[in-house]
Every structure is written in C-alpha cells, then in structure tokens.
Amino acid sequence: MSTFQQPDPKDRPARLSVGVVGAGRVGPALAASLQLAGHRPVAASGVSDASRRRAELMLPDVPLVPPAEVLERADLVLLTVPDDTLPSLVEGLAETGAVRPGQLLVHTSGRYGAKVLDPALRAGALPLALHPAMTFTGTPVDVQRLAGCSFGVTAPEELRLAAEALVIEMGGEPEWIAEEMRPLYHAALALGANHLVTLVAQSMELLRAAGVEAPDRMLGPLLGAALDNALRSGDAALTGPVARGDAGTVAAHVTELRRHAPQTLAGYLAMARATADRALAHGLLKPELAEDLLGVLANGTEGEPR
C-alpha cells in the first residue's frame, strides 16, 4: 500500500521569480519563505558587508546585483529598505524606467501603505504593502518565525486577494490595514515591541545593580506570565503598587531610582502615570487612593534629570 508524500518544494514549478532590493534582515527571510512555497529567488541587492553576508547565508547562489538589475530579472520585487529611504528609492526606480508593467512591487514598511508606490503604479507596476509584525535576526530562524506571524496588508482592492495569498504562502496571517491607518498601526507595534525591549533592558540593569546574578532567569517567568495575562485580559491584568494605589511603595521606588539609576526615572514616572490612568478608568484603582499616588508621581519630577 503506497503512502502519499508531499512533493519537495524544490520539485515544484516556480511560479514567480523573486528579487530583493535591500538585503537587510527582512528581505532575505521573506524571499527564503517564498522559495519554500515554490517561487524562485533570482537576484538581490545589498550595499554593506553585513547585508551581503546575510544574502549569502539566507539566499545561497542568488547573485548580488544593482537594484535596477534586480527589477530587470524579477517578476516579484521585495523593497526591504529603511522607511525614510523608501519614497526616494521608488521614485528613482520609476524615473529610470526600471519598473516593468505587470511587475509585483512589494514593500515591507509598517509606516507606509500602498500610496508610497504610486510612482511605480504609474509605470504599470502592481503595488502591495506587506508588513510582517515580527522582529528579525537576519538568520534562518526568521523563516520559522514567520509561521503564524500577522502581516499588515494594504493594497488596491483589486490586488487584495493576491496580497493575502502571498502572505499565506509565507506562512503568515493577513490583517487588512486601511491606507490612512498605517501610521497608527505602526505606532501601536512600536509602542508594544520596541518599548518592551527598553523596559526589559532597564529592568535587567536594575536587578544587576541590586545584586541579582541572573536577571534574565528571574524576569523570564514573570514577564512571560504578565504578557500572557495582558494579551488575554487587557487592563484587568494590571497588578502592582500603582494599580493598588500603594503610594508609599511608589515613593520608595522613586527615591531609589533617583539615587541609583536617575536615567530610568523619567520612564518609570511616565509609565506609572499611564498605568494609574488606566487602572482608574477600569475601576481597579480606588479614587480615594489615587490622590496620594498621583501626588507622589507629580513630586517625583522634582530634581528629575532633563
């Protein structure tokens, strides 16, 4: 009795030739994911030594060529460059005639929607904005992390199905974001992911200063549980001295931070105020306890480094 075997991706007929402009951490990972889905990476561009090494690691045997040549070779082009350089790159490629009619042009910026690709659209390209809501390392582990990763998708309505299909082929989950909401969407992700790294790094520094030898081991279970609770319950997951209205404990925190780590005080006060506001709004912090707490937070700015 024979058993059915899933065909090897290498044996599937390639449907699209894929190019990468900007071999940072994101582009090679997405191209490698598309390769697993049966597409064929054909060219990449990268300027720095690090980007060239990443391309060689993630996309072996794929030639490194100038951006215009990437567009010449590829049916699907991933523009994975920093946000601030994306508009000028698109304009330059369109003005020099590098963009071909019918070519799929995909950028991965969280900030921009599809309109940043308008110069290429006028040249006949098909514009897609596909932003993976994930941090990247520039190593093969990134391809695995794309499984189940949400993508912020923005495209003309007639290309919506094509955009969502590409995301699904990369193992992701498409989430439609309106053009005008892209900056707010990106701010939300930055607030959560980027600021989380800063908070964790500061917490680890303070624990080391307090004599904890393995702050990562101490914080891991605590922060994992806090994140899980927050994702499940939102503001109902708030705990700690601010949510309880324990003004004395918060005052002690302010004193110690000013003495040992004044550079962290502004962030502590700002987050404590935001936490108090949310705890009050959701009935977790009793109003009669909030006055003393807010007084401590207001007084905490006295002598605060600017």
Q: DSSP characters for the chain?
A: -----PPPGGGSPP--EEEEES-SSSHHHHHHHHHHTT-EEEEEE--SHHHHHHHHHHSTTPPB--HHHHHHH-SEEEE---GGGHHHHHHHHHHTT---TT-EEEE--SS--SGGGHHHHHTT-EEEEEEE-S---SSTHHHHHTTT-EEEEE--GGGHHHHHHHHHHTT-EEEE--GGGHHHHHHHHIIIIIHHHHHHHHHHHHHHHTT-S-HHHHHHHHHHHHHHHHHHHGGGG--SHHHHT-HHHHHHHHHHHHHH-GGGHHHHHHHHHHHHHHHHHTT-S-HHHHHHHHHHHHHTTTT---
Does residue 173 fall inside a structural domain?
yes
Do 109 and 22 belong to one domain? yes
Q: Of 112, 146, 177, which marks where a domain is finished?
A: 177
Domain assignment present for residue 288? The answer is yes
- Domain co-membership, 169 together with 74: yes
Residue 305 lies in a domain: no
* pLDDT tens, the chain, 306 aa long: 434 344 444 444 448 999 999 988 999 999 999 999 999 999 999 888 888 888 888 999 999 999 999 999 999 999 999 999 999 999 999 999 999 999 999 999 999 999 999 999 999 999 999 999 999 998 999 999 999 999 999 999 999 999 999 999 999 999 999 999 999 999 999 999 999 999 999 999 999 999 999 999 999 999 999 999 999 999 999 999 999 999 999 999 999 999 999 999 999 999 999 999 999 999 999 999 999 999 999 987 654 443
Q: Are residues 168 and 232 in the same domain?
A: no
Q: Give the number of domains in the chain.
A: 2
152 lies in the same domain as 59: yes
**Which structural domain, as residue segments, surrounds residue 292?**
185-299
Residue 64 lies in a domain: yes
Tell me which of 161, 177, 193 is where a domain ends: 177
